[in-house]
Amino acid sequence: MGIRIRSGRDFLPSDDQSEEGKAIVSESMARHWRGADPIGSKILVRGRKREVYEIIGVVSDVRRRSLWDEPGPFLYLPLLQRYFPAMSAYVKTDRPLELAGMLRQQDPDLPVEQRRMRDIVGAAVADQRFAARLAGACGVIGALIAVLGLYAATAHVAGQRVRELAIRSVLGATRRQAMRSMLAECGLPAVAGLAVGTFSAIWLSRFVAGFVHGVSALDPASFALASLVLGTTCLVAIYVPVAKATRLDPLVVLRAE
């Protein structure tokens, strides 16, 4: 099941009824020892009869029902020492059809359900995945609209400064100088908008922290990637109309004026 052993050991085939009871606790349960090592301690388990078990290991926490449940204290007992008739057994195999047939041959009354673990996990997070894809699609559409708007506004500004660029060219200004001037003028609002958007996203991340799993709402890689993508698209949207305006022949522009 992918539950990692943090300290101590796992159950062994020798942990049967002939041996003293053994138990493994989760990290959340191990905190009840208040910093002390629980391995070697004795624990009383109540049931049909009271039994004493020795703790032999500590394993990582698990979320039982969903990814958003807080991990609770868990106690694991070996099947050979404490048998539970009502249980579910999970089998790891790369040949599920053959294994299901073998299990039915051993016990025709045994209920065998063939489901892949990835399908079980996928069903548990289906709603969250749909919401994430929907939010991602809205984000892509919003970014596309922003880039198109930036391109249109930059093209308009560059078009209004065509005559100015032509005069500068006649007076000796190079194309690189004109390009640098236009990029500085049009790029500053884009940089300011990117900075405001980044700080706004950091402030709003507190409201989505409970909806993400496996990554922090303030994940630096995610913010860096988003800033890089938006910054690159803004640069392209600014560069194309500015480059087009600076390529015009200044004599043709002045003659038209």
- pTM of the full structure: 0.55
How far apart, in Å, are the Cα atoms of 233 and each of 157, 184, 225? 18, 16, 12
Cβ–Cβ < 8 Å for 57, 24: yes
Structural domain boundaries in the chain: 5-87, 92-124, 125-256
Please list the pLDDT of the chain residue by residue as tens digits (257 residues): 889 999 999 999 888 887 888 999 999 999 999 888 999 999 988 876 778 899 999 999 988 777 777 788 999 998 888 887 777 777 888 777 778 778 778 877 878 777 777 888 888 788 888 888 898 899 889 878 877 887 787 777 766 776 777 777 767 777 777 777 777 777 787 788 888 888 888 888 777 766 666 667 777 887 888 788 777 777 777 677 667 766 767 676 666 65
> Which residues have CB under 8 Å from 57's CB, separation 6+?
5, 6, 7, 8, 9, 10, 24, 25, 39
**Count of alpha carbons within 13 Å of 239, Cβ hemisphere only?**
7
What are the DSSP calls for 17-75, one per residue? TTS--EEEEEHHHHGGGTTS--TT-EEEE-SSS-EEEEEEEEE----SS-TTSPP---E
Beta-strand relationship, 51-59 and 22-26: parallel
